[in-house]
Structure 1
Amino acid sequence: MKQTIYVYIQIPNRNEFTVLGRLSVENGKGEFTYSPNYPVDWVPDEILYPLVRGKTYPVRENRGVPNFIMDIVPDAWGQSVLKRIFAKEKDTDWSVIDYLLYSNNSDRFGALCVGSIRKVTQKAVTENFQDFVKLDEFLDFANAIRTGEEIKKINLALAQTTSLGGARPKITLYDDKKLYLAKPKDINDPVNIPRVEYACLSFAKKKGFNVVNHDLLSIQHHGHLKNILVLERFDREYDETAGNFIRYPMLSGLTLLHAEWGTTDHGRWSYPLLANEMLRKKIAIKDIHELYRRMLFNALIGNDDDHLKNHAFIYRNKNWHLAPLFDVVPQVAYKPQTLAMTIGTYGNKISRDNLLSSSAHFKIDPRDAENMLDEVLGWKDELKEHYREYLSENDFEHIWNLIPEIS
């Protein structure tokens, strides 16, 4: 069956939406056509989909969906929520287009929205966020999803189909003209993941990384103290004059690398290749150096969930930039020997030689790379004390025993 959607975009540096183009998908093959009336010369992916108004591009990746549109598809958590909400009215297999059409446009990643007609409707761009005071209700909802209980608050459910993140519960909440992504402890977590991630983010901030604004909340929920990691949404900024949010364009590392999601082919999942594409995108050298340091940090803490969707890029002030660090959690089930992406000459293996082997791709002199690596490895004792400060004794022992040995 052929499915068609229209892609809308909030024009960069403007508070107005327009139709970017049309996407049609049939039997795993797609066609994307730019609107002949698209009013500006800027597009999200000028490499694979350069702007030619009215031109139809065949789409071969992701069973017919361009990566820059895949970036706004609800993540695994959002997809599970949608399936539960619409289980009675939809008994057929879900397609990517279904996930896009059934989900809420309000909290999508970046500046894109979708709709079913060739016109930007008010419904498509209306902002509808839950207030931060609804956090307690969200915890009830998340537990209901995990335990298979009845879903009672549909409006709350529809507000949590963001494309940010992965399979863990999360919701975008509004407070005092800012948006926040709230991530509670999941019911099956072996350790207190919100505390672990907070410890990693706060340590990275302490060491000079560009890190998302973050906080750790503790609330009473049914007689128990619950931890929630709160991240400020950096892709939105409130416009006092217009009374709504400016949405900054975003791309995942997956899109920048023209790689695919949901396949076993990870050949392009690579830090050096990502650095090369950052150069092609005219992203500042300091951001490329930051990516190298993030790779070293992921190796230090054992974060092997550093896949391409956990690296992002934001368009602000007429340039693309490496987005703040926003999803950093060490492996909690085993001691990782590899990262999710290729590091260097020896693939994705966590080792000193491998971490140093790709420095040229990041425009870093080999001696400077050695100094960077020695500096990061020298943080280990300080990291240990930082973990002790924020984690319970059991969680600390669990996490620290899984830290990789880098030699």
Structure 2
Amino acid sequence: MPEAYLDPRSISSLEVLLNDLKVGTIVRTPGDFNAFSFEESYRAAGGLPVLSLSFRAVTGGLRKDPKPVARALPAFFANLLPEDKLREAMEKHHAGSVRAGNDFDLLIALGSDLPGAVRIVPSKGAAPPLEDSSRPKPKARFSLAGVQMKLSVIKNTGKGGGLTLPLGDEQGSYIAKFPSTSFPGVSENEYANLALAEAIGMDVPERELVEQSEFESIPEEFKTLFDGKVLLVKRFDRSAGAERIHIEDFAQVFGVYPSRKYEGAAYHDIAAALGVAVSSAAALEFVRRLALAAVTGNGDMHLKNWSLIYRGAGDKPELAPVYDVLSTIPYIPADAMALSLAGERSFKAMNVRRWKAFANRARLPEAAVLKAVTETVERVNQTWWSLPERGVVPIKVLERIDAHVKMMTPILGTHAH
């Protein structure tokens, strides 16, 4: 006999799991307050594997349970949810069980395919089951933070192939990023920028450009009006065997809500956190990625576009692979760095003096930071102009990227051509 269906709107308690380990509970209280508390067994184990650095005390172990939040989830969980148009589409897709603007409802609906190893399931006895006749058809249940229309998908193998959405408790192993009417050639732009990052030695997930016709049964809510290629990227938070690998972005690390992803911290804060939590080598790799953003005109590397990944036992963070890199300058000519770098955001202000100030604030050696910046820009110039993936980028978009690279090369302190 099939399992009875639980109406998310009637659920008041959720279990928070890291893979299969229960780490805590979120309770919805009267007055629409949401309270999160850790399991005593998880606290006794020192808070390992790590859920988030934001919950860890300087002395080790876990902080006190966070205070209940009115009409919102605690910041860590709010950052698991999609934003803007993607959120609107997901709420519409789950309109029968998710009230617009209700984080708790949406977290229940998407809890089986969240970023990283977090799973959210209703607590036992959290709500009375509905009769089988009330059971809805399986829905797409995935959450990917950000505003672009992007879906977690399954790549079918064998005869027929194609790409489908995970339904019910299935999980996708690829992210499909759809084209935009506002930003022509955005898929090709990001595809080329990911190829550039990999070519200069950075850790980048597998990716390919595919036709929209390869997708099967995409619900109307998620379809885009623009005809064009879809960027398909392998999820690095899923293993080859589809096991979950935990990740957290730096909005979660700093306990910042998604609405403050452009202002909740500065770049030196991320570098300093990496230096303490991971290693100085990870902090300098972050500097290289920052230099890549500056030279290519990427003004969207906000707090949610940098992440930590917890492989193995889940107790030691590493800097996650590169993701969401593209040149924004072709679409927003007056764009600037997403976060402050030593008090400045303008690309033209990213000179040697600025990087020295950044190094001091990040507690990194000036010489090592300047070397990381200049070597990255030199590698870009050695690689970009002959990169095969340039050929897929629309000519007008490419011309604007090229002009920015030429402008930024001397500003970033290199004489490479």
Q: Give the superposition deviation at 1:162.
A: 2.0
Match of 2:321 among 315, 324, 340: 324
CA distance in 1, matches of 2:354, 2:45: 44
CA distance in 1, matches of 2:16, 2:126: 7
Q: Give the superposition deviation at 1:271.
A: 1.2
Q: Give the superposition deviation at 1:305.
A: 0.8
CA distance in 1, matches of 2:97, 2:25: 29
Match of 1:396 among 376, 398, 406: 398
TM-score under structure 2 length normalisation = 0.73
1:327-348 Cα offsets, whole Å, 9 max, x none, are 101113222452111111x332
Quickly say closer, same or farther: Cα 1:86–1:64, change in 2 above 3 A.
Answer: closer
Q: Give the superposition deviation at 1:361.
A: 4.7
1:5-404 aligned within 5 A: 5-11=13-19, 16-18=20-22, 20-24=24-28, 29-38=33-42, 40-41=45-46, 42=48, 43-45=50-52, 47-48=54-55, 56-59=65-68, 64-87=72-95, 93-103=100-110, 105-118=111-124, 155=138, 158-159=140-141, 161-175=142-156, 179-186=173-180, 188-218=181-211, 226-239=228-241, 245-263=242-260, 267-280=263-276, 282-317=277-312, 318-331=315-328, 332-344=330-342, 346-350=343-347, 351-352=350-351, 353-362=353-362, 364-378=364-378, 379-380=380-381, 382-386=383-387, 388-401=390-403
| Structure 2 residue identity aligned to 1:80 | E
SS at match of 2:373: helix
How many residues are paired up?
Answer: 357
Q: Give the superposition deviation at 1:36.
A: 3.5
Q: Give the superposition deviation at 1:29.
A: 4.9
CA distance in 1, matches of 2:62, 2:227: 55
Q: Give the superposition deviation at 1:28.
A: 7.1
CA distance in 2, matches of 1:154, 1:181: 23
| Structure 1 residue identity aligned to 2:108 | L
CA distance in 1, matches of 2:28, 2:56: 15
Quickly say closer, same or farther: Cα 1:21–1:292, change in 2 above 3 A.
Answer: same
SS at match of 2:67: strand
Aligned to 1:141: none
SS at match of 1:237: coil
| Structure 2 residue identity aligned to 1:300 | V
CA distance in 2, matches of 1:367, 1:361: 14
Q: Give the superposition deviation at 1:262.
A: 1.4
Structure 2 residue runs of 5 or longer lacking an equivalent are 1-8, 128-135, 158-170, 216-225, 412-417
| Structure 1 residue identity aligned to 2:392 | Y
Q: Give the superposition deviation at 1:32.
A: 1.6
Quickly say closer, same or farther: Cα 1:258–1:52, change in 2 above 3 A.
Answer: closer
| Structure 1 residue identity aligned to 2:399 | E
Contact 1:237-1:247 within 8 A present in 2 as well = yes
Quickly say closer, same or farther: Cα 1:348–1:25, change in 2 above 3 A.
Answer: farther
CA distance in 1, matches of 2:39, 2:137: 34
| Structure 1 residue identity aligned to 2:176 | A
Instruction: Using the TM superposition, name which of 204-213 and 188-197 deviates more.
Output: 188-197
Quickly say closer, same or farther: Cα 1:7–1:395, change in 2 above 3 A.
Answer: same
Quickly say closer, same or farther: Cα 1:18–1:293, change in 2 above 3 A.
Answer: same
Contact 2:284-2:368 within 8 A present in 1 as well = no
Q: Give the superposition deviation at 1:284.
A: 2.3
CA distance in 2, matches of 1:37, 1:343: 41
| Structure 1 residue identity aligned to 2:317 | W
Q: Give the superposition deviation at 1:248.
A: 1.6
| Structure 1 residue identity aligned to 2:79 | D
| Structure 2 residue identity aligned to 1:310 | N
TM-score under structure 1 length normalisation = 0.75
Aligned to 1:130: none
Q: Give the superposition deviation at 1:31.
A: 2.3
Q: Which has the higher strand share?
A: 1
CA distance in 2, matches of 1:253, 1:164: 12
Structure 1 residue runs of 5 or longer lacking an equivalent are 122-152, 240-244
CA distance in 2, matches of 1:234, 1:9: 19
| Structure 2 residue identity aligned to 1:271 | Y
| Structure 2 residue identity aligned to 1:316 | R
Quickly say closer, same or farther: Cα 1:3–1:348, change in 2 above 3 A.
Answer: farther
SS at match of 2:298: coil
SS at match of 2:26: strand
| Structure 2 residue identity aligned to 1:315 | Y
Quickly say closer, same or farther: Cα 1:68–1:396, change in 2 above 3 A.
Answer: same
Quickly say closer, same or farther: Cα 1:404–1:305, change in 2 above 3 A.
Answer: farther
Q: Percent identity?
A: 17
CA distance in 2, matches of 1:182, 1:319: 29
Quickly say closer, same or farther: Cα 1:28–1:311, change in 2 above 3 A.
Answer: farther
